Structure 1
Amino acid sequence: MLYRVKGQSLVVYKLRAETQEYELHKAAGDCAVPVRGRVMLKAFDGEIICMGFLMDLATPIIAPSGLAPPPAAVVPPSQRRDLMHEMVRLVQRLHESRRFVHGDLKLENMVLLDSDHDDDDQGRLRLCDFAEGRYVGEDERVWAEASYSSTWHYESPGRLRRGEQMGMDPAPPTIEDDLYGLGLSIWYFYTGRVLNGDLAGDDLGLKERQREGGTIDVDEVDDPEAREILRGLLRRRGARI
Protein backbone atom coordinates (compact mmCIF):
# COMPACT_ATOMS: atom_id res chain seq x y z
CA MET A 1 0.00 0.00 0.00
CA LEU A 2 1.57 3.30 -1.12
CA TYR A 3 0.94 6.80 0.19
CA ARG A 4 2.20 10.21 -0.94
CA VAL A 5 4.36 12.01 1.62
CA LYS A 6 3.20 15.49 2.59
CA GLY A 7 5.69 18.10 1.46
CA GLN A 8 7.69 15.54 -0.56
CA SER A 9 6.19 15.40 -4.04
CA LEU A 10 8.73 12.86 -5.34
CA VAL A 11 8.63 10.45 -2.38
CA VAL A 12 6.11 7.72 -1.47
CA TYR A 13 5.64 5.68 1.69
CA LYS A 14 5.17 1.92 1.40
CA LEU A 15 3.14 0.81 4.39
CA ARG A 16 3.41 -2.66 5.99
CA ALA A 17 6.74 -3.55 4.43
CA GLU A 18 8.82 -5.57 6.87
CA THR A 19 12.57 -5.36 7.45
CA GLN A 20 13.43 -8.27 5.14
CA GLU A 21 11.65 -6.68 2.17
CA TYR A 22 13.42 -3.40 2.89
CA GLU A 23 16.81 -5.11 3.03
CA LEU A 24 16.18 -7.02 -0.23
CA HIS A 25 14.97 -3.84 -1.90
CA LYS A 26 18.16 -2.04 -0.86
CA ALA A 27 20.32 -4.97 -1.97
CA ALA A 28 18.77 -4.81 -5.45
CA GLY A 29 20.63 -1.54 -5.97
CA ASP A 30 20.17 -0.12 -9.47
CA CYS A 31 17.58 -2.81 -10.28
CA ALA A 32 15.10 -1.31 -7.78
CA VAL A 33 13.35 1.97 -7.12
CA PRO A 34 15.74 4.01 -4.89
CA VAL A 35 14.83 3.88 -1.19
CA ARG A 36 15.14 6.77 1.29
CA GLY A 37 14.96 4.93 4.60
CA ARG A 38 12.70 2.96 6.93
CA VAL A 39 9.78 4.15 9.03
CA MET A 40 10.09 2.68 12.54
CA LEU A 41 7.62 2.47 15.43
CA LYS A 42 8.33 1.87 19.10
CA ALA A 43 5.66 -0.47 20.48
CA PHE A 44 4.24 -0.30 24.02
CA ASP A 45 6.57 -3.10 25.13
CA GLY A 46 9.59 -1.22 23.80
CA GLU A 47 10.05 -3.33 20.68
CA ILE A 48 11.11 -1.40 17.58
CA ILE A 49 8.95 -2.39 14.60
CA CYS A 50 9.50 -1.64 10.91
CA MET A 51 6.30 -0.07 9.60
CA GLY A 52 7.47 0.37 6.01
CA PHE A 53 9.89 2.51 4.07
CA LEU A 54 10.19 5.59 1.89
CA MET A 55 11.15 5.37 -1.77
CA ASP A 56 11.24 7.54 -4.88
CA LEU A 57 8.07 8.18 -6.80
CA ALA A 58 7.80 6.13 -10.01
CA THR A 59 5.23 5.58 -12.75
CA PRO A 60 3.63 2.10 -12.98
CA ILE A 61 3.39 0.56 -16.41
CA ILE A 62 0.12 -0.97 -15.23
CA ALA A 63 -1.62 -0.56 -11.88
CA PRO A 64 -1.83 -3.54 -9.46
CA SER A 65 -5.61 -3.53 -9.76
CA GLY A 66 -5.40 -4.06 -13.49
CA LEU A 67 -7.96 -1.28 -13.87
CA ALA A 68 -5.52 1.36 -15.09
CA PRO A 69 -5.20 2.34 -18.76
CA PRO A 70 -3.44 -0.29 -20.90
CA PRO A 71 0.39 -0.21 -21.07
CA ALA A 72 0.26 1.72 -24.34
CA ALA A 73 -1.11 4.69 -22.38
CA VAL A 74 2.21 4.88 -20.50
CA VAL A 75 4.56 3.53 -23.19
CA PRO A 76 3.74 4.40 -26.82
CA PRO A 77 3.77 1.44 -29.26
CA SER A 78 6.82 2.93 -31.00
CA GLN A 79 8.84 2.53 -27.78
CA ARG A 80 7.51 -0.90 -26.84
CA ARG A 81 10.33 -3.03 -28.25
CA ASP A 82 13.02 -0.89 -26.59
CA LEU A 83 11.34 -1.21 -23.21
CA MET A 84 10.91 -4.97 -23.70
CA HIS A 85 14.69 -5.29 -24.14
CA GLU A 86 15.18 -3.10 -21.06
CA MET A 87 12.94 -5.50 -19.09
CA VAL A 88 15.13 -8.43 -20.14
CA ARG A 89 18.36 -6.60 -19.24
CA LEU A 90 16.95 -5.50 -15.89
CA VAL A 91 16.02 -9.04 -14.82
CA GLN A 92 19.36 -10.43 -16.05
CA ARG A 93 21.15 -7.77 -14.00
CA LEU A 94 19.15 -8.70 -10.90
CA HIS A 95 20.11 -12.37 -11.27
CA GLU A 96 23.72 -12.02 -12.38
CA SER A 97 24.95 -8.90 -10.57
CA ARG A 98 22.75 -8.84 -7.48
CA ARG A 99 22.46 -12.63 -7.19
CA PHE A 100 18.89 -12.93 -6.07
CA VAL A 101 15.47 -13.87 -7.34
CA HIS A 102 12.57 -11.41 -7.25
CA GLY A 103 9.97 -14.11 -6.58
CA ASP A 104 6.93 -12.19 -7.81
CA LEU A 105 7.96 -10.89 -11.20
CA LYS A 106 5.02 -9.35 -13.05
CA LEU A 107 4.22 -6.20 -14.98
CA GLU A 108 2.62 -4.61 -11.92
CA ASN A 109 6.01 -4.68 -10.20
CA MET A 110 7.82 -2.83 -13.00
CA VAL A 111 7.89 0.97 -12.89
CA LEU A 112 9.51 3.90 -14.65
CA LEU A 113 11.54 6.39 -12.64
CA ASP A 114 10.96 10.12 -12.84
CA SER A 115 12.81 11.97 -15.61
CA ASP A 116 15.32 13.22 -13.01
CA HIS A 117 16.92 9.78 -13.33
CA ASP A 118 17.42 10.01 -17.10
CA ASP A 119 21.18 10.23 -16.74
CA ASP A 120 21.30 6.75 -15.20
CA ASP A 121 23.27 4.39 -17.45
CA GLN A 122 20.89 1.55 -16.62
CA GLY A 123 17.77 3.29 -17.94
CA ARG A 124 14.61 4.29 -16.11
CA LEU A 125 12.94 0.89 -15.66
CA ARG A 126 13.05 -0.50 -12.11
CA LEU A 127 11.53 -3.26 -9.98
CA CYS A 128 9.60 -2.96 -6.73
CA ASP A 129 7.88 -5.28 -4.20
CA PHE A 130 10.69 -7.63 -3.18
CA ALA A 131 8.72 -9.21 -0.31
CA GLU A 132 8.90 -12.70 -1.84
CA GLY A 133 12.51 -12.55 -2.97
CA ARG A 134 15.41 -14.77 -1.99
CA TYR A 135 19.14 -14.89 -2.63
CA VAL A 136 20.47 -17.32 -5.23
CA GLY A 137 21.86 -20.32 -3.38
CA GLU A 138 20.10 -19.47 -0.12
CA ASP A 139 18.84 -22.42 1.95
CA GLU A 140 15.28 -22.98 0.70
CA ARG A 141 14.09 -23.70 4.23
CA VAL A 142 14.86 -20.09 5.18
CA TRP A 143 12.44 -18.85 2.52
CA ALA A 144 9.82 -21.54 3.19
CA GLU A 145 9.66 -20.85 6.93
CA ALA A 146 8.55 -17.28 6.24
CA SER A 147 5.23 -18.55 4.77
CA TYR A 148 5.28 -16.63 1.51
CA SER A 149 2.66 -16.70 -1.21
CA SER A 150 2.75 -16.22 -4.97
CA THR A 151 0.64 -14.55 -7.66
CA TRP A 152 -1.11 -17.62 -9.05
CA HIS A 153 -1.67 -16.31 -12.55
CA TYR A 154 2.08 -15.76 -12.93
CA GLU A 155 3.14 -19.06 -11.37
CA SER A 156 5.14 -21.25 -13.74
CA PRO A 157 4.25 -24.90 -14.47
CA GLY A 158 7.67 -25.91 -13.16
CA ARG A 159 7.19 -24.11 -9.85
CA LEU A 160 3.74 -25.62 -9.37
CA ARG A 161 4.99 -29.16 -10.01
CA ARG A 162 8.03 -28.64 -7.81
CA GLY A 163 5.87 -27.38 -4.97
CA GLU A 164 3.64 -30.44 -5.21
CA GLN A 165 6.69 -32.72 -5.14
CA MET A 166 8.13 -30.91 -2.11
CA GLY A 167 4.81 -30.62 -0.30
CA MET A 168 5.08 -26.81 -0.38
CA ASP A 169 2.65 -24.19 -1.68
CA PRO A 170 4.33 -22.37 -3.25
CA ALA A 171 7.83 -23.73 -3.81
CA PRO A 172 10.74 -21.31 -3.29
CA PRO A 173 11.14 -19.29 -6.51
CA THR A 174 14.06 -19.85 -8.86
CA ILE A 175 15.71 -17.80 -11.60
CA GLU A 176 13.70 -19.79 -14.15
CA ASP A 177 10.47 -18.84 -12.35
CA ASP A 178 11.44 -15.16 -12.62
CA LEU A 179 12.09 -15.63 -16.35
CA TYR A 180 8.65 -17.19 -16.76
CA GLY A 181 7.11 -14.20 -14.98
CA LEU A 182 9.11 -11.92 -17.27
CA GLY A 183 7.69 -13.71 -20.31
CA LEU A 184 4.11 -13.29 -19.10
CA SER A 185 4.85 -9.64 -18.30
CA ILE A 186 6.05 -9.01 -21.84
CA TRP A 187 2.93 -10.69 -23.23
CA TYR A 188 0.71 -8.52 -21.01
CA PHE A 189 2.76 -5.46 -21.95
CA TYR A 190 2.09 -6.05 -25.65
CA THR A 191 -1.51 -7.25 -25.51
CA GLY A 192 -2.96 -5.42 -22.49
CA ARG A 193 -5.05 -8.52 -21.80
CA VAL A 194 -5.66 -10.15 -18.43
CA LEU A 195 -3.74 -13.38 -17.91
CA ASN A 196 -5.96 -16.49 -17.93
CA GLY A 197 -9.01 -14.26 -18.04
CA ASP A 198 -11.18 -17.22 -19.04
CA LEU A 199 -10.44 -18.85 -15.69
CA ALA A 200 -11.18 -15.88 -13.45
CA GLY A 201 -12.15 -17.23 -10.04
CA ASP A 202 -11.51 -20.85 -11.10
CA ASP A 203 -8.42 -21.63 -9.03
CA LEU A 204 -8.61 -25.39 -9.65
CA GLY A 205 -8.93 -24.90 -13.39
CA LEU A 206 -5.93 -22.55 -13.40
CA LYS A 207 -3.80 -25.02 -11.43
CA GLU A 208 -4.72 -27.81 -13.85
CA ARG A 209 -3.76 -25.67 -16.85
CA GLN A 210 -0.43 -24.81 -15.27
CA ARG A 211 0.22 -28.41 -14.24
CA GLU A 212 -0.18 -29.47 -17.87
CA GLY A 213 2.14 -26.74 -19.10
CA GLY A 214 -0.61 -24.55 -20.54
CA THR A 215 0.16 -20.87 -20.90
CA ILE A 216 -0.66 -17.76 -22.92
CA ASP A 217 -1.01 -17.67 -26.72
CA VAL A 218 2.30 -16.21 -27.87
CA ASP A 219 0.90 -15.57 -31.36
CA GLU A 220 -1.32 -12.82 -29.95
CA VAL A 221 1.80 -10.62 -29.76
CA ASP A 222 2.18 -8.73 -33.05
CA ASP A 223 5.97 -8.28 -32.83
CA PRO A 224 7.90 -11.30 -34.24
CA GLU A 225 11.03 -10.51 -32.21
CA ALA A 226 8.99 -10.34 -29.02
CA ARG A 227 7.33 -13.67 -29.85
CA GLU A 228 10.70 -15.43 -30.12
CA ILE A 229 11.87 -13.95 -26.82
CA LEU A 230 8.62 -15.04 -25.20
CA ARG A 231 8.93 -18.61 -26.39
CA GLY A 232 12.44 -18.88 -25.03
CA LEU A 233 11.51 -17.49 -21.62
CA LEU A 234 8.36 -19.57 -21.14
CA ARG A 235 9.85 -22.88 -22.28
CA ARG A 236 12.62 -22.63 -19.70
CA ARG A 237 10.08 -23.25 -16.94
CA GLY A 238 7.85 -25.92 -18.38
CA ALA A 239 5.42 -24.19 -20.74
CA ARG A 240 4.25 -26.22 -23.74
CA ILE A 241 4.44 -23.79 -26.67
Structure 2
Amino acid sequence: MSQAFFTDPLGSWPSDVQDISLECSTFSASPNSYIIVYNEEFVIKNLLKPNSVDVDNERLGREVDMTLLAGNPGCAIPIIGRYFSHGMIMGFITRFGKCITQGPRDDIRPEYHDHRLSVIQQFCALLDRLHSKGIIHGDVKPSNLVFDAADNLRFIDFAEAVLESEPPCRHASTTRYVSPSSLKTRSPLTRADDLYAAGMTIWHIYTGHLPFENIEEDDVDLLIEEGLRPDLSLIDDEGVRALISEYLDGGE
Protein backbone atom coordinates (compact mmCIF):
# COMPACT_ATOMS: atom_id res chain seq x y z
CA MET A 1 0.00 0.00 0.00
CA SER A 2 1.34 3.44 -0.76
CA GLN A 3 0.48 7.10 -0.92
CA ALA A 4 0.57 6.90 -4.73
CA PHE A 5 -2.18 4.29 -4.65
CA PHE A 6 -4.49 6.66 -2.79
CA THR A 7 -3.70 9.53 -5.15
CA ASP A 8 -4.20 7.58 -8.39
CA PRO A 9 -6.40 9.39 -10.96
CA LEU A 10 -10.19 9.54 -10.75
CA GLY A 11 -11.72 6.26 -11.89
CA SER A 12 -8.79 4.10 -10.77
CA TRP A 13 -10.96 2.74 -7.98
CA PRO A 14 -14.26 1.00 -8.87
CA SER A 15 -16.45 3.30 -6.77
CA ASP A 16 -14.80 6.71 -7.24
CA VAL A 17 -17.33 9.53 -7.46
CA GLN A 18 -17.06 13.22 -8.35
CA ASP A 19 -19.03 16.41 -7.77
CA ILE A 20 -22.18 14.74 -6.48
CA SER A 21 -24.97 16.64 -4.77
CA LEU A 22 -27.02 14.40 -2.50
CA GLU A 23 -29.22 14.69 0.56
CA CYS A 24 -26.69 13.65 3.18
CA SER A 25 -26.17 13.82 6.93
CA THR A 26 -22.87 15.36 8.02
CA PHE A 27 -21.23 14.73 11.38
CA SER A 28 -18.10 16.11 12.99
CA ALA A 29 -15.87 13.16 13.90
CA SER A 30 -13.16 15.33 15.46
CA PRO A 31 -12.00 18.96 15.26
CA ASN A 32 -10.24 18.15 11.98
CA SER A 33 -12.50 15.57 10.38
CA TYR A 34 -16.08 15.02 9.38
CA ILE A 35 -18.25 12.18 8.15
CA ILE A 36 -20.90 12.36 5.42
CA VAL A 37 -23.56 9.62 5.46
CA TYR A 38 -25.79 9.02 2.44
CA ASN A 39 -29.02 7.11 2.94
CA GLU A 40 -27.37 4.73 5.48
CA GLU A 41 -25.67 3.17 2.46
CA PHE A 42 -22.38 5.00 1.93
CA VAL A 43 -20.01 6.99 4.15
CA ILE A 44 -17.48 9.61 3.05
CA LYS A 45 -14.70 10.53 5.48
CA ASN A 46 -12.74 13.76 5.15
CA LEU A 47 -9.67 14.88 7.11
CA LEU A 48 -8.55 18.51 7.23
CA LYS A 49 -5.19 20.00 8.08
CA PRO A 50 -5.13 21.61 11.55
CA ASN A 51 -6.74 25.06 11.59
CA SER A 52 -7.42 24.84 7.87
CA VAL A 53 -10.13 24.09 5.32
CA ASP A 54 -7.64 22.21 3.15
CA VAL A 55 -7.88 18.43 2.88
CA ASP A 56 -5.06 16.54 4.62
CA ASN A 57 -4.31 14.02 1.88
CA GLU A 58 -1.25 12.71 3.70
CA ARG A 59 -3.32 11.62 6.71
CA LEU A 60 -6.14 10.39 4.47
CA GLY A 61 -3.69 8.26 2.51
CA ARG A 62 -2.22 6.92 5.75
CA GLU A 63 -5.65 5.96 7.07
CA VAL A 64 -6.53 4.29 3.77
CA ASP A 65 -3.30 2.27 3.91
CA MET A 66 -3.92 1.14 7.50
CA THR A 67 -7.55 0.26 6.76
CA LEU A 68 -6.52 -1.81 3.76
CA LEU A 69 -3.86 -3.59 5.82
CA ALA A 70 -6.51 -4.41 8.43
CA GLY A 71 -8.68 -5.86 5.61
CA ASN A 72 -9.29 -9.57 5.10
CA PRO A 73 -10.02 -11.60 7.07
CA GLY A 74 -12.03 -8.53 7.82
CA CYS A 75 -11.08 -6.29 10.69
CA ALA A 76 -12.28 -3.13 8.94
CA ILE A 77 -15.16 -1.81 6.88
CA PRO A 78 -13.65 -1.94 3.35
CA ILE A 79 -12.80 1.28 1.50
CA ILE A 80 -14.45 1.13 -1.93
CA GLY A 81 -13.54 4.46 -3.51
CA ARG A 82 -12.68 8.12 -3.17
CA TYR A 83 -14.71 11.30 -3.43
CA PHE A 84 -13.44 14.02 -5.76
CA SER A 85 -14.61 17.63 -6.00
CA HIS A 86 -13.40 19.78 -8.89
CA GLY A 87 -10.78 17.16 -9.63
CA MET A 88 -9.36 17.08 -6.10
CA ILE A 89 -9.59 14.17 -3.65
CA MET A 90 -11.81 15.19 -0.74
CA GLY A 91 -12.15 11.90 1.12
CA PHE A 92 -12.57 8.14 0.92
CA ILE A 93 -15.78 6.10 0.68
CA THR A 94 -16.92 3.02 2.59
CA ARG A 95 -20.14 1.11 2.88
CA PHE A 96 -22.31 2.17 5.80
CA GLY A 97 -21.87 0.26 9.04
CA LYS A 98 -24.21 0.52 12.01
CA CYS A 99 -22.38 1.61 15.15
CA ILE A 100 -22.95 -0.60 18.19
CA THR A 101 -23.97 2.49 20.16
CA GLN A 102 -26.94 3.14 17.85
CA GLY A 103 -30.44 1.87 18.54
CA PRO A 104 -31.94 0.88 21.92
CA ARG A 105 -29.66 1.18 24.92
CA ASP A 106 -28.23 -2.20 25.81
CA ASP A 107 -28.15 -1.42 29.54
CA ILE A 108 -28.77 -3.75 32.48
CA ARG A 109 -32.15 -5.03 31.29
CA PRO A 110 -32.04 -8.87 31.42
CA GLU A 111 -33.44 -9.32 27.90
CA TYR A 112 -30.28 -7.80 26.43
CA HIS A 113 -27.83 -9.97 28.31
CA ASP A 114 -27.19 -12.55 25.59
CA HIS A 115 -26.84 -9.83 22.96
CA ARG A 116 -24.27 -7.95 25.03
CA LEU A 117 -22.28 -11.12 25.61
CA SER A 118 -22.31 -11.84 21.88
CA VAL A 119 -21.05 -8.35 21.02
CA ILE A 120 -18.32 -8.59 23.67
CA GLN A 121 -17.22 -11.99 22.36
CA GLN A 122 -17.10 -10.68 18.77
CA PHE A 123 -15.19 -7.60 19.90
CA CYS A 124 -12.50 -9.60 21.72
CA ALA A 125 -12.02 -11.85 18.67
CA LEU A 126 -11.87 -8.80 16.39
CA LEU A 127 -9.17 -7.12 18.48
CA ASP A 128 -7.16 -10.35 18.60
CA ARG A 129 -7.31 -10.58 14.78
CA LEU A 130 -6.17 -7.00 14.38
CA HIS A 131 -3.26 -7.46 16.78
CA SER A 132 -2.26 -10.69 15.03
CA LYS A 133 -1.67 -8.54 11.95
CA GLY A 134 0.73 -6.39 13.93
CA ILE A 135 -1.65 -3.42 13.91
CA ILE A 136 -2.43 -1.23 16.93
CA HIS A 137 -5.74 0.56 16.41
CA GLY A 138 -4.93 3.44 18.73
CA ASP A 139 -8.49 4.61 19.41
CA VAL A 140 -10.50 1.60 20.57
CA LYS A 141 -13.98 2.62 21.79
CA PRO A 142 -17.61 1.68 21.08
CA SER A 143 -18.15 4.45 18.51
CA ASN A 144 -15.38 2.91 16.40
CA LEU A 145 -17.12 -0.48 16.29
CA VAL A 146 -19.77 -1.10 13.64
CA PHE A 147 -21.73 -3.99 12.17
CA ASP A 148 -21.35 -4.44 8.42
CA ALA A 149 -24.13 -5.53 6.04
CA ALA A 150 -23.56 -9.18 6.98
CA ASP A 151 -23.82 -8.30 10.71
CA ASN A 152 -20.12 -8.85 11.31
CA LEU A 153 -18.39 -6.58 13.81
CA ARG A 154 -15.69 -4.37 12.28
CA PHE A 155 -13.43 -1.48 13.28
CA ILE A 156 -13.63 1.95 11.68
CA ASP A 157 -11.41 5.04 12.06
CA PHE A 158 -7.81 3.93 11.55
CA ALA A 159 -6.54 7.52 11.66
CA GLU A 160 -4.44 6.77 14.77
CA ALA A 161 -3.47 3.19 13.83
CA VAL A 162 0.18 2.14 13.68
CA LEU A 163 2.16 -0.98 12.86
CA GLU A 164 4.03 -2.50 15.77
CA SER A 165 7.04 -2.77 13.46
CA GLU A 166 7.11 1.01 12.90
CA PRO A 167 9.27 3.41 14.94
CA PRO A 168 7.41 4.31 18.16
CA CYS A 169 5.30 7.46 18.04
CA ARG A 170 2.64 9.11 20.16
CA HIS A 171 -0.85 9.38 18.73
CA ALA A 172 -4.07 10.97 19.91
CA SER A 173 -6.69 8.91 21.74
CA THR A 174 -10.02 9.39 23.48
CA THR A 175 -9.65 10.48 27.10
CA ARG A 176 -12.24 8.19 28.70
CA TYR A 177 -10.58 5.11 27.15
CA VAL A 178 -6.90 6.04 27.51
CA SER A 179 -4.67 4.09 29.89
CA PRO A 180 -3.21 5.59 33.09
CA SER A 181 0.34 4.69 32.03
CA SER A 182 -0.14 6.54 28.77
CA LEU A 183 -1.34 9.64 30.57
CA LYS A 184 1.50 9.48 33.09
CA THR A 185 4.39 8.94 30.71
CA ARG A 186 3.04 10.30 27.39
CA SER A 187 4.87 7.30 25.95
CA PRO A 188 4.50 6.00 22.38
CA LEU A 189 1.46 3.96 21.47
CA THR A 190 1.64 0.23 22.32
CA ARG A 191 -0.63 -2.80 22.19
CA ALA A 192 -1.21 -2.29 25.93
CA ASP A 193 -3.06 0.94 25.14
CA ASP A 194 -5.50 -1.00 22.95
CA LEU A 195 -5.96 -3.60 25.70
CA TYR A 196 -6.80 -1.02 28.35
CA ALA A 197 -9.21 0.71 25.98
CA ALA A 198 -10.76 -2.69 25.29
CA GLY A 199 -11.52 -3.13 28.99
CA MET A 200 -13.21 0.26 29.07
CA THR A 201 -15.09 -0.59 25.88
CA ILE A 202 -16.42 -3.86 27.32
CA TRP A 203 -17.59 -1.99 30.43
CA HIS A 204 -19.38 0.51 28.19
CA ILE A 205 -20.99 -2.22 26.06
CA TYR A 206 -22.21 -4.14 29.09
CA THR A 207 -23.55 -1.21 31.13
CA GLY A 208 -24.70 0.98 28.25
CA HIS A 209 -23.09 3.97 29.97
CA LEU A 210 -20.21 6.24 28.98
CA PRO A 211 -17.29 5.66 31.36
CA PHE A 212 -17.12 8.35 34.03
CA GLU A 213 -20.14 10.08 32.49
CA ASN A 214 -20.81 12.06 35.68
CA ILE A 215 -17.32 13.55 35.76
CA GLU A 216 -16.38 16.73 33.91
CA GLU A 217 -14.35 16.05 30.77
CA ASP A 218 -11.49 18.27 31.94
CA ASP A 219 -11.14 16.25 35.16
CA VAL A 220 -11.28 12.76 33.71
CA ASP A 221 -7.69 12.46 32.49
CA LEU A 222 -6.22 13.54 35.83
CA LEU A 223 -8.43 11.10 37.76
CA ILE A 224 -7.57 8.22 35.39
CA GLU A 225 -3.88 9.02 35.80
CA GLU A 226 -4.39 8.75 39.57
CA GLY A 227 -5.95 5.29 39.17
CA LEU A 228 -9.67 5.90 38.74
CA ARG A 229 -11.47 2.88 37.26
CA PRO A 230 -15.05 2.30 36.18
CA ASP A 231 -17.44 0.86 38.74
CA LEU A 232 -17.16 -2.91 38.31
CA SER A 233 -20.01 -3.47 40.80
CA LEU A 234 -22.33 -2.57 37.89
CA ILE A 235 -21.18 -5.74 36.10
CA ASP A 236 -23.41 -8.53 37.38
CA ASP A 237 -21.75 -11.22 35.23
CA GLU A 238 -18.68 -12.63 36.98
CA GLY A 239 -17.03 -13.70 33.71
CA VAL A 240 -17.44 -10.26 32.12
CA ARG A 241 -16.19 -8.57 35.29
CA ALA A 242 -13.06 -10.74 35.26
CA LEU A 243 -12.55 -10.08 31.55
CA ILE A 244 -12.70 -6.31 32.07
CA SER A 245 -10.18 -6.52 34.92
CA GLU A 246 -7.87 -8.63 32.76
CA TYR A 247 -7.87 -6.09 29.96
CA LEU A 248 -7.49 -3.12 32.32
CA ASP A 249 -4.57 -4.81 34.11
CA GLY A 250 -2.97 -5.62 30.76
CA GLY A 251 -3.05 -1.97 29.85
CA GLU A 252 -1.12 -0.68 32.85
Equivalent residue letter for 1:94:
L
Equivalent residue letter for 1:181:
A
Aligned equivalents of 1:217, 1:4: Cα separation in 2:
35
- Counterpart selection for 2:94 from 55, 59, 66: 55
| 1:139 counterpart residue number | 167
Tell me, yes or no, if the aligned pair for 1:39 and 1:53 is still in contact at 8 Å: yes
Q: Does 1:4 align with 2:12?
A: no
Q: Does 1:18 align with 2:75?
A: no
- Counterpart selection for 2:226 from 186, 203, 212: 212
Equivalent residue letter for 2:82:
R
Equivalent residue letter for 1:130:
F
- Counterpart selection for 2:214 from 178, 193, 198: 198
- Counterpart selection for 1:157 from 180, 184, 205: 180
- Counterpart selection for 2:199 from 170, 183, 189: 183
| 1:92 counterpart residue number | 128
| 1:37 counterpart residue number | 81
Superposition deviation, residue 137 in structure 1: 2.5
Post-superposition CA distance 1:95-154 (Å, at most 9, x none)? 01x21100000011001111xx26xxxxx00000110111112112xx44xxx4221111
TM-score (norm 1): 0.76
Higher helix share: 1
Which sits farther off after the overlay, 100-109 or 217-226? 217-226
RMSD: 2.3
Aligned equivalents of 1:229, 1:149: Cα separation in 2:
26
Aligned equivalents of 1:173, 1:233: Cα separation in 2:
16
Provide the secondary structure at the position in 2 that maps to 1:199: coil
Superposition deviation, residue 225 in structure 1: 1.0
| 2:156 counterpart residue number | 128
Provide the secondary structure at the position in 1 that maps to 2:41: strand
Post-superposition CA distance 1:161-195 (Å, at most 9, x none)? 221xxxxxxx4321111011111111011111121
Post-superposition CA distance 1:190-215 (Å, at most 9, x none)? 111121123223x2x32332222221
Unaligned ranges ≥5, structure 1: 44-48, 119-123, 164-170
Tell me, yes or no, if the aligned pair for 2:176 and 2:221 is still in contact at 8 Å: no
Tell me, yes or no, if the aligned pair for 2:106 and 2:116 is still in contact at 8 Å: no
| 1:167 counterpart residue number | none
Provide the secondary structure at the position in 1 that maps to 2:214: helix
Unaligned ranges ≥5, structure 2: 1-33, 48-58
Aligned equivalents of 2:251, 2:124: Cα separation in 1:
16
TM-score (norm 2): 0.73
Superposition deviation, residue 42 in structure 1: 6.4
Q: Does 1:172 align with 2:188?
A: yes
Aligned equivalents of 1:237, 1:179: Cα separation in 2:
5
Provide the secondary structure at the position in 2 that maps to 1:31: coil
Superposition deviation, residue 217 in structure 1: 1.5
Superposition deviation, residue 3 in structure 1: 2.2
Equivalent residue letter for 1:54:
I
Provide the secondary structure at the position in 2 that maps to 1:88: helix
